Chains A and B, each alone.
Chain A
């Protein structure tokens, strides 16, 4: 009888632990790397940034200029309009090693690059 009562509890605990692991493990293994960028005087500062490979990247783009920008990258496959005097957050998947260019789509002469190693 004791065995019959304990089995479901053990089973439930095991399932809860497994689900918790499933949710937690990717987060632990792939904690996002934050990259801070400032946009002022029509320039990204810094214009060259680095991040480790196989980790998601979060860009925090602070636009200090008086006009909106569109942070865009074909190789990162992201775009986001960042209004004047505000901050935009752009989430990027875990990246393989390489160089990923980004630019302001409203003024595509303004460029930068992320180097993933």
Chain B
């Protein structure tokens, strides 16, 4: 049995060839024995999953931006720069600077030998601080287990030399799995090819360190990150950015509060002395 080396591994999700079949969602649920949420009619495109959460560790987003063209049907149909109907199989990004890992008070969230971010289910106590911190809304709370859940990068499969279920099931190879450096080379080539073909808005998200120090699950997007509900580099901030200012503000308040209290409670003594 071939085993993976203990090197950074991840996903390169090429949204330009995602067809929205949701095979990744199904494979993920099947392998990880996720029951799924109660089906809901979201009345929102072809998306009946809604969001990433404790039961959905892969979520195919459907983003419709069909150009109106004032009712004129154009021939050939314009491809709108490849942005008319976007699909993206979203997943935990396994960030290099992971917000969830940063705030977890119990050390339940760890980085594995494959550089992925994993929630140890036997350590997590369900405080949900990681949910509050994750900028991608990836982590969900499982009421049955009382713990936080998200994509494990199929850690159990990796340990047995198997690629993650979603990547294996993807019929178009939109989800590519492998060693991170190999994936980055492949992504650079694909981006260059798309831009040469005229898809000027095509861009890599998380390929470099501008977003959370780089993402182990990074994407090729056909539009800006915001369109895919992903924070751009300016908004990709770690929770700890508020630590110093928060505590400094508290300290300042404590000092002013003490002074205010002393002024009030010493007034009697001062009056007695005078």
Are both chains from one complex?
A: no
Footprint of B on A, CB under 8 Å? none
Footprint of A on B, CB under 8 Å? none
